[in-house]
Structure 1
Amino acid sequence: MSTEPSTTGTDEPGGRGDATASEAPDDATAGGTPEGSADDAGTAETAETPETASEDASKTPAEVSEAQAELAAQRLERERIEKRKAEKKTPVTSGTRLSGTAADLLAAVRAVESGRKPTATVFDEPEPTPRRPAQEPARRPQPVAPPAGAAAPSGETVEAVRAVLAEGGAPEALVPQVAEALGEGAGARLREDPWQLLRVPGVRPEQADGFARALLGAECGPDDERRGRAVTVWLLEQAAVAGHTALEAPALIAALGQRSVPDPDEAVQSTVAEGEALVFQDALDDAPSTPRSAPAPAPADAGSGSGSGSGSGSEGDGEDDEAEEERPVRVLIGLERYALAEESLADGLARVMNSLPKEDPTDWAPAAASAPRSAAELIRAVAGHGLVLHTGGEAARAEPAALITAARTLGLRAYAATHSADGRRRFAAQLSSADAEPAEGADTVEGAESVVTTLAGLLSGAEGPGRDAEGALALDLLVVLDAPQVDVETAALLAESLPDGSRLVLSGDPGVLWSAGPGRVFADLLAARACPQVASRTPDPGPIGELVSGIGIGELNQVDAPGKEVVIVPVRDAGEAVHRTAQLVVDSVPRAFGIPSEQVQVITPGHGGAAGTRALNAALKERLNPGPGRFGGFDPGDRVAHSPAPGRTTPGRVVKADAEGLHLECAGSAVVVPKERVEQTVRHGWALTAHQAVGHRWPAAVVVLPGDAAQALTRPWVYTAFGRAERHLSVVHGVEQALPRAVAEIPPKPRTTRLPALLKAQVPSAD
């Protein structure tokens, strides 16, 4: 994991990302902001998990929002995971001598560290994980019905936690978070294992160590088995914050050593044995194989040996088994929730690709022939395949719009899903435009909006066609826009929700920042080449489109902007950057282009620092809506960014505040944020990070690049930030040569994922 830039603070919503993203182990410690985490670190997008929404159960039905429904659905997904976990074989008792997979892990890791190749048979083949029934999505709750299991911790639990925290010298402010993270009996669990405090977002190992010393006294030591397990899980969680779904074993071992774990190998073994992490091996060679290598077929006279690497095979197993043992693999350690999500996603995508009827009665040929040339290739690809990838910028969305129009004309139930409400509005307008005339019954923007949903709304049931009798989404074709923003857990929920015989198109711009959550689903699918890929040839128009297109290929070009569509504003220091930014938003852009201040968005690399979002928002509030901040720092009329769930930010405005909480207007909808959730989920929104801004566009954008943010810049960050502007882009430039260097030389930071290997095992390459 890369280190957190100095522009990121820890005292804002989303402390999990702010405080800890820098600690995840990674081979690339370039000092920049991790794609998908630290740019978003400090937003509530990484601060809340499905488990942290337990207080939502106390709301009245009128207060239950789309975000809460999504979280409720994901809570049931976690319950399914726990059920599958319970169905596994009885784990090795803690503290006893380990055997099997856990015990063999040490040998595999040491083989890697010594320069030798770990063999594909280091681990015995596990029992196959039961496949999830296809109809299970039907059991996800509707938005107005939070599950009964979401009740807040009891008063007795809260008081017990308060007593233990006080005894250990921990801040009382942690009480609700600890009770929520550990659930009923949290006080007893924490007293028995003080390092469980690391389960709370934002708590670091050194803080948990101090708490443990206060509780355990002389019994506390760095070699405590409980500490080793807790730090192992914590490192894997921080890796997830930075986008990884698993870590290579040597990287995890090294990170544990840096955290003063005396025996990192034993810590990993113990964590695996306790079921708190899983171990995998992915083949490194090009030969067809499964992620968990199966034994080579034994010759007829080979006897009854299994060849699984357990050492129980006969000596006559032959050279095939020996060759199998020499196949190099990559040893990975990961948290179960992401492991199951990737496996479920691979299964679901394979099902979508293989379940398309061979005899399709739909005649796509006339639709392709009558479609615009740019869209015809996409329509032909969708006609013959269950899964299709489509790449392109903002203008290229006209092609999916033409596809949906053609499909609905053919009588298919075709829908689109976007990352944000703003994206939904923009794509609905494209469906209603002259370039993509809607089918009968959808000849207005309002009609088109019924065809376009947000992905969160689609999965929660708040938007879209709903579910059929078997629990699958009631549709024949789904186009997912903003596909790079889909993390692995959301993608798994989506894949499992699609009915057999349906078609899925994942469309997006591969140059933008990856998802805030773990995984790089769209990039992995593009790299796997397991399905058709259609690259749009439709360029984004105008000087801004030309500039952004150049950035996408690593070139920061000077473009002709006769209408001052692109303006560079050089500054010497952060103070001047803040001053010039306020001047641009309040006066210069509105006066020169007729764009009101509320339609000008400021984008900067981080939340902290002298020109981060906090400093910029303070300056802009003083100029545009001064006030005392009567409710948690907010006043009516304040521009805000509301992050109701991890990875999703909705711009809005404060309407009022009362006993119910903070009342917002977000994307035309009324939202009430309970007062206890305001600090975690609401920020001022005149200035955003690029991760908060992705999926949205504004008439004008002011991108602020202060000198202290130079190390945070990457090509995807610049591409994303500059691409948020529709009519005008101002760049407040204080990083000198760091900007062209980032565009030319700094690609997205790699993420460790297992999806390519899982897909390879199930789906042959389309090449």
Structure 2
Amino acid sequence: MDGVPETEGTPGSGAAGDAESSAEGTAGSEAAGATESSEGTAGSEAAGTAEGSGDAAKPTEAEAELAAQRVERERIERRKAEKQAPIEAGTKLSGTAADLLAAVRVVESGAKPVASAFSEPPAPRRPAPEPERRPEPVAAPAGPAVPAAQAVAGVRAVLTEGGAPEALAPQLAALLGDGADLQLREDPWQLLRVSGVRPEQADGFARALLGAECGPDDERRGRAVTVWLLEQAALAGHTALEVAALTTALAQRAVPDPDTAVQSALAEGEVLVFQDALDAAAPAAEAEAEEEGAERPVRVLIGLERYALAEESLADALGRVMNSVPKEDGSAADWERAAASAGGSAAELIRAVAGHGLVLHTGGDASGAEAAALLSAARGLGLRTWAAAHSRIGCDRFTARLAPSDLPGGPQQGPGTGVSTVAGLLSGAEGPGRDADGALVLDLLVVLDAPQLDVETAAMLAESLPDGARLVLSGDPGVLWSAGPGRVFADLLAARVCPGIASRTPDPGPIGELISGIGVGELNQVEAPGKEVVIVPVRDAGEAVHRTVQLVADSVPRALGVPAEQTQVITPGHGGAAGTRALNAALKERLNPGPGRFGGFDPGDRIAYSPAPGRTLPGRVVKADADGLHLEIPGAPVVVPKERVEQCVRHGWALTAHQAVGSRWPAAVVVLPGDAAQSLTRPWVYTAFGLAERHLSVVHGVEQALPRAVAEVTAKPRTTRLPALLRPQVPAAD
């Protein structure tokens, strides 16, 4: 490339901590030490349900997805209520752990809390609105509930009195339900239920309303901060926190008696407590310990009901998939002939799927050909097959791979094979449809980009499978984990409860060689005769922005023939002098200058649209009118109302790695400013560099922090319960 030196060292890297807010605001840093951020949203903490064009008869994909999630949670809650026995736990615990478990049992029995657990009677519980019941996940929603104007006015008056922003009134009125203003006045720390509000802000609001009655030892404050910390932990990927981590974080938030705060939250049903065996993998040792009267080693965890139910439901559903007899389509000899015809790792995958309900398939981008061969073979044996990818780009790439391995005679030789996004499959907007029981009409589901599955999405997928269906989770274990809580794919790989097939198909070319080395902690120099990998050293963030614009607009199109619209810029975070905001502003000025009359956007702008937290869809602005901002999104056009634009839409020439994961572009420019050095991790580097198909440019300003991160900084740990929940339910893999 003109004026761009090729590297003699090693290519650059990026950072996992892409969140705009500081780490001190998350329980991942305060409580559990995990700082992997939820960078997958396009600047929105809202679900973004208002993506439709205003046609009430045709719900949008985001609305349908949110409705499906509500229905699934209600079904999970009903299943939990049907369980006859309470959690068996705590018979040999003592101290704080015993107190916590005793508090749960008191709540389950309906009796008042014991005096030793609570110094003051708990505040009256806020009433929960009756959930709206819907028969099927695919049912069209009526749209998000809009609080009455009178209710919003009442909440606005309380907010004004306490010095809080009036703009929070509609959201609080919807969250708190009936009597929201009275609830907020009685318990000002309910303000923490609004996403983005921090404890110190809620404290100021409470002081303004309560005066001398307000203090750090207020039981209401302890409960609210406990829930807030667990919600922040979920943003960092945890589904629960150990008691010690949670109480430490509470102490850092000036809660004088953390144990009592946790017990109060338990008594009010705000959180749940669990104990997981630490040595469940050694049943013989456990039995010996029981005979000798020794205490069974356990860890006590505290979590929010939402994620606890999802994780338990996921474990139950996966157990059902593993233990049910797969549908018999084709004899063993037929499956073997199909495997022999495929050869290599694809043959191993086909043989594993022939005899098991759940199979894990690991590998890089090239391993997608093996999943395509599996679907083709299964369809030839009469199975109804389907694949689901994380992004629309992923769907299109897999569809292209599927075509060469399709049956020569076409669909008439067997049931059709379809490819959809995971969100579209769950919402009913895409996919094979559902039967009368609400199960997906298929015999084999292959989920691509499996590391991107959070516990709630994975639970909905697994619960949607009919008895006898096979499930294959396929993905690259080296990429960043899901934006939502949990690490489903990694937990399943670690638990070893089902067959795992590792692809032996390497990713081709210099970029594939580079990525393979990063995956094992080595940042190697690679030969790139066609300028497949180029390093652009920079001294500061200003130079990084300048060189990035030069690469996208001039050097890459001229030297490699890749137009600017097919080049994606990747950077660690949204803020900073070389974050997505600064880069998008510079790229817009060069590639599509305009006045930005509609929320900063003009026709032709590349955008990143977030219909729901953790989901980012690339697209382009078509026009703006009284209806809103019209976007061209792969799959369907979208109209975002004016009041939702700021929350749901960002410029998209530059994305974070979490926003881009699951997609690939002909060319990628990875920008590594010097201020990203402290947050570099191997998974981020692996993900960001792997987004390029033909060409990778690295705007490198982090010096030796790059090889150090690749060699030493692995994925941040996440606290989850899935492995412990799986062990007693499913047999070990053959």
Normalising by structure 2, report the TM-score: 0.88
Instruction: Please say if residues 681 and 710 of structure 2, whose CA atoms lie closer than 8 Å, have aligned partners that are also in contact.
Output: yes
- Alpha-carbon distance, 1:76 to partner: 2.0
Which residue number in structure 2 is paired with residue 48 of structure 1? 46
Percent sequence identity is: 73
Structure-1 separation of matches of 2:420 and 2:430: 6
- Name the CA distance, whole Å, in 2 between partners of 1:441 and 1:360: 19
Match of 1:353 in 2: 322
What is the Cα deviation at residue 489 of structure 1?
0.2
Are residues 1:73 and 2:84 paired?
Answer: no
The one of the two structures with greater contact order (alpha-carbon pairs below 8 A, sep at least 6) is 2
Distance apart, 1:77 and its partner CA: 2.8
* More displaced 10-residue stretch of structure 1: 699-708 or 73-82: 73-82
Match of 1:284 among 278, 281, 294: 278
Secondary structure, aligned partner of 1:644: coil
Equivalent of residue 761 in structure 1, options 717, 728, 733:
728
- Find 2:627's aligned residue among 655, 660, 676: 660
Structure 2 counterpart SS, 1:139:
coil
Q: What's 2:129 paired with?
A: none
SS in 1 for 2:623: strand
Counting only pairs closer than 5 Å after superposition, residues 683-722 of structure 1 correspond to structure 2 as: 683-722=650-689
Q: Corresponding residue for 1:131?
A: none
Distance 1:369 1:87 in 2: 47
Amino acid at match of 1:25: E
1:88 is displaced (CA, Å) by 9.6
1:608-627 → structure 2 map (5 Å cutoff): 608-627=575-594
Q: 1:164 aligns with which of 116, 138, 158?
A: 158
Q: Specify the code of the residue in structure 2 equivalent to 1:154.
A: A
Closer/same/farther in 2, CA of residues 223 and 414 from structure 1, 3 Å limit: same
**Per-residue CA shift, 1:238-261, capped at 9, x if unaligned?**
000000000000000100000011
Mark the runs of 5 or more structure 1 residues left unpaired by the alignment.
11-16, 92-99, 112-117, 129-136, 298-318
Which residue identity lines up with residue 186 of structure 1 in the other structure?
A: A
Counterpart secondary structure, 2:727: helix
Which residue matches 2:695? 728
On the 8 A contact 1:105/1:269 being kept in 2, the answer is no
Query: Paired residues, what number?
Result: 693
Q: Give, in whole Å, the separation in 1 of the partners of 2:590 and 2:265.
A: 53
The reply to whether residue 210 of structure 1 matches residue 210 of structure 2 is no
Paired with 1:225 and 1:151, the residues of 2 have a C-alpha distance of 31
Following superposition of structure 1 onto structure 2, how do residues 374-385 of structure 1 map, counting pairs within 5 Å?
Answer: 374-385=345-356
Q: Which secondary structure does the structure 2 equivalent of 1:646 belong to?
A: coil
- The residue aligned with 2:362 is 391
Q: What is the CA deviation profile of residues 305-363 of structure 1, one whole-angstrom value per residue up to 9, with x for unaligned ones?
A: xxxxxxxxxxxxxx958726x11100000000100100000000000001125976543
In structure 2, relative to structure 1, the CA distance for the partners of 1:200 and 1:707 (3 Å cut) is: same
- Which residue in the other structure is 2:546 paired with? 579
Distance 1:5 1:557, change over 3 A: closer
Secondary structure of the structure 1 residue equivalent to 2:611:
strand
The answer to whether 1:651 aligns with 2:610 is no
Find the aligned partners of 1:763 and 1:480 in 2 and give their Cα distance. Answer: 21
Counterpart in the other structure of 1:154: 148
Distance in 1, Cα, partners of 2:224 & 2:542: 42
Partner of 2:118: none
1:248-647 map, 5 Å: 248-286=242-280, 320=290, 323=293, 326-357=295-326, 361-362=330-331, 363-433=334-404, 436-438=405-407, 440-442=409-411, 451-647=418-614
1:140 correspondence with 2:107? no
Q: Is the 8 A contact 1:244 1:519 kept in 2?
A: yes
Change (3 A) 1:107 1:87: farther
SS of residue matched to 1:662: strand
Contact kept, 8 Å, 1:413 with 1:477, in 2: the verdict is yes
Q: Is the 8 A contact 1:195 1:226 kept in 2?
A: yes
Shift of 1:604: 0.3
TM superposition shift of 1:645: 1.2
- Evaluate the alpha carbon distance shift between residue 110 and residue 710 of structure 1 in structure 2; reply closer, same or farther with a 3 A threshold: farther
Q: 1:57 to 1:358 in 2, by over 3 A?
A: closer
Among candidates 181, 187, 192, match of residue 193 of structure 1: 187
Between the aligned partners of 1:401 and 1:360, the Cα distance in structure 2 is: 18
Supply the distance in 1 between the matched residues of 2:490 and 2:178 (Cα, whole angstroms): 40
- Please name the residue that 2:171 is paired with: 177
Contact 1:138 1:472 in 2 (8 A): no
Question: 2:569 touches 2:668 (CA, 8 Å); kept in 1?
Answer: yes
Q: Does 1:61 align with 2:31?
A: no
For 1:256, give the aligned amino acid: L
- Which amino acid is 2:697 matched to? S
Q: Given the superposition, is the C-alpha separation of residues 677 and 63 from structure 1 closer, same or farther in structure 2, using an over 3 Å criterion?
A: farther
Matches within 5 A, 1:226-265: 226-265=220-259
Contact persistence 2:385–2:416 (CA under 8 A):
no
CA shift digits 1:599-639 (9 cap, x unpaired): 11000000000000000001001111111211111111111
Instruction: Tell me the CA shift for residue 125 of structure 1.
Output: 12
* Alpha-carbon separation, structure 2, partners of 1:354 and 1:110: 35
Offset, 1:20: 4.0
Measured in 2, the distance between the counterparts of 1:341 and 1:760 equals 17
Tell me the C-alpha RMSD between the 2 structures.
Answer: 3.3
Q: CA 1:726/1:343 → structure 2, altered by over 3 Å: closer, same or farther?
A: same
Q: Distance in 2 between matches of 1:348 and 1:483?
A: 16
Contact map agreement 1:389 1:534 (CA 8 A) in 2: yes
For each residue in 1:420-475, what CA deviation from the matched residue of structure 2 results, as whole angstroms up to 9, or x when unmatched? 01100000000012xx134643499xx99961111111111111110112211000
Q: Counterpart of 2:616 in 1: which secondary structure?
A: strand
Q: In the superposition, relative to structure 1, how do residues 5 and 540 fare at CA in structure 2: closer, same or farther (>3 Å)?
A: closer
Q: For residue 585 of structure 2, what is the amino acid of its counterpart?
A: A
Tell me by how many angstroms 1:183 deviates.
3.1
1:750 pairs, out of 717, 722, 733, with 717
Work out the CA distance in 1 between the residues paired with 2:106 and 2:156: 45
The one-letter amino acid of 2:250's match is L
Instruction: Tell me the CA shift for residue 81 of structure 1.
Output: 5.4
User: Please, what TM-score do these two structures have when normalized by structure 1?
Assistant: 0.85
Structure-2 separation of matches of 1:706 and 1:24: 23
The residue aligned with 1:133 is none
Are residues 87 and 219 of structure 1, via their aligned partners in 2, closer, same or farther at CA, if it must alter by over 3 Å?
farther
Moved more, 660-669 or 713-722: 660-669
Q: How far 1:662 moved relative to its partner?
A: 1.0
Q: Structure 2 unaligned runs (5+)?
A: 1-14, 110-132
The alpha-carbon deviation at position 204 of structure 1 amounts to 0.1
How much does 1:677 deviate? 1.6
Q: Distance in 2 between matches of 1:56 and 1:592?
A: 39
Q: CA separation in 1, counterparts of 2:251 and 2:201?
A: 18
Cα pair distance change 1:703/1:420, threshold 3 Å: same
Q: Which amino acid aligns with 1:107?
A: G
CA deviation digits over 1:59-108, x for unaligned, max 9?
A: 4335522122111111223344566788899x9xxxxxxxx999999824
Q: 1:9 aligns with which of 5, 17, 20?
A: 20
Contact 2:326 2:356 (8 Å CA) reproduced:
no
